[in-house]
Amino acid sequence: MTAKPARIPRLESSALETPNRILAAALATFAERGFHAASLKEITERAGANIAAVNYHFRSKDELIRQVLDRFLGAINSERLAALDGCEAEAGADGPTLEALIEALIRPMVSLSRDQHDGRAIVRLLLQVRALPRGVTNNAVAQQFDPVHARFINALNRAAPWLHREEVVWRYDFARGAMMHILSDLDPGMRRLADLSPSITAADDETIIRQLVAFIAGGFRAPATPR
């Protein structure tokens, strides 16, 4: 048996990081063209990798999709949970206020979707998952979001004791819808629909958050529905 040549520990990070570059390129391309229309050719070219690299590092295009969702959705949700932990720690025995909870829910997504390069991409991906339900994407998103939803619903249930738990779930869903909708309106590719009011198109993060919190808190404060 011949001795193998001693393995030199890799210093060239480029090799090890090829999968990361592919993930980043895939995020951008999926967001621009959609999961289906985005081709592995374009993704690998953007990543500076060979077209066969996707099948080597990930098993298939579907696996790449799953890993993109896992990686980039995880980031927002850990921020949201950290914000929730933070406002629960600050709050007294009664728990956080409605406004504090709503802000913990929406601020990470709003600011991510605006100052980070990948932010708008993530919003588009989430909308794609809803617009074109598929097993792969539904499962990846649900796995990332379900624990977050459960914690926020519990906290909101405490902060809005005049509502039954079911009604909290309805309103929590409405809140997320309001947020996702305005974020997609503020997407430059979508501007056409927000043109009704230029002051919205030009709004900064804090204005968006203030408007969202006011509306959502008002929605939660509405009296419980009869029956």
The residue ranges that bind DNA (CB under 7 A) are 14-16, 18, 38-42, 49-57, 59-62
Output 45 or 88, the one with its CB closest to DNA: 45
Output 53 or 179, the one with its CB closest to a copy of itself: 179
Alpha carbon 120 to chain centroid distance?
Answer: 9
218 binds, among DNA, a copy of itself, none (CB under 5 to 8 A by kind): a copy of itself
Q: What is the b/e burial string over 142-165, where b = at least 16 CB atoms within 10 angstroms of the residue's CB?
A: eebbeebbeebeebbbebbeebee
CA angle, residues 195, 198, 202, in degrees to nearest 5: 115
CB of 166: closest distance to a copy of itself in angstroms? 5
128 binds, among DNA, a copy of itself, none (CB under 5 to 8 A by kind): a copy of itself
223 binds, among DNA, a copy of itself, none (CB under 5 to 8 A by kind): a copy of itself
CB of 188: closest distance to DNA in angstroms? 24
End-to-end C-alpha distance for the chain, whole angstroms: 80
212 binds, among a copy of itself, DNA, none (CB under 5 to 8 A by kind): a copy of itself
Q: Helix or strand or coil: residue 128?
A: helix
Alpha carbon 52 to chain centroid distance?
Answer: 29
Binding positions for a copy of itself, rule: CB under 8 A:
33-34, 36-37, 124, 127-128, 130-133, 138-139, 141-142, 145-146, 149-150, 153, 165-167, 169-171, 173-182, 184-185, 187, 189-190, 192-197, 199-200, 210-212, 214-223, 225
Relative orientation angle of helices 119-131 and 165-185, to the nearest 10 degrees? 120
CB of 138: closest distance to a copy of itself in angstroms? 5
Output 116 or 197, the one with its CB closest to a copy of itself: 197
CB of 146: closest distance to DNA in angstroms? 27
Which tokens in the block code for residue 136? Answer: 């792969």
192 binds, among a copy of itself, DNA, none (CB under 5 to 8 A by kind): a copy of itself
- Count the neighbouring beta carbons within 10 Å of the beta carbon of residue 181: 12
Cβ proximity of 96 and 90 under 8 Å: yes
185 binds, among DNA, a copy of itself, none (CB under 5 to 8 A by kind): a copy of itself
**To which residue do tokens 């990846």 refer?**
140
Cβ proximity of 153 and 217 under 8 Å: no
